[in-house]
Amino acid sequence: MRKLFFILIMVGFISCGDKKPEPFGKASDEVLKDATPIVVDEKLKLGEELFNGVGMCKSCHLPDKKVIGPSIVEIARIYKDKEANMVEFLKENADPIVDPSQYEVMKTNFAITKTMSDDELKAIEAYMYSFLK
């Protein structure tokens, strides 16, 4: 009987642990997940698919390492810092600002990017900007 009483008391103490109330207005993880617009997720997904697929960008650009062309992070950072338009560059309507010495290599890919819609190019741009922290 004493053991049962002791066990019940211990369970009572453990279950009444020090639970701190959350401050008023603090969002839970579920609320934050639901607050992200679906459109953004779809745009990033499309950008990733185009970048890694038909755009063939991945063959020269990796997220944080220079291969043939500059890294995605470097490209996104420079375009953001200079407030330049990546979409216009991909349409071949703007001069190269990241690594002009590699422009001739990149020119061969304009045949692909020029066939893409503005929405597709903006999706690639959004995908590339998503690598900035």
For residue 125, the domain's CATH number is 1.10.760.10
Residue of 120, 133, 129 lying closest to 47 (CA atoms)? 120
Q: Which domain holds residue 125?
A: 35-129
What total of structural domains would you count in the chain?
1
pLDDT tens track for 40-79: 789 999 999 999 999 999 999 999 999 999 999 999 999 9
Residue 32 has pLDDT above 90, yes or no: no
Identify whether the C-beta of residue 113 lies closer than 8 Å to the C-beta of residue 55. Answer: yes
List, in order, residues 6 or more apart from 65 with CB less than 8 Å away: 71
* Backbone phi and psi for residue 38, each to the nearest 5 degrees, phi listed first: -65, -35
Among all chains, which residue has been given the structure tokens 């185009």? 50
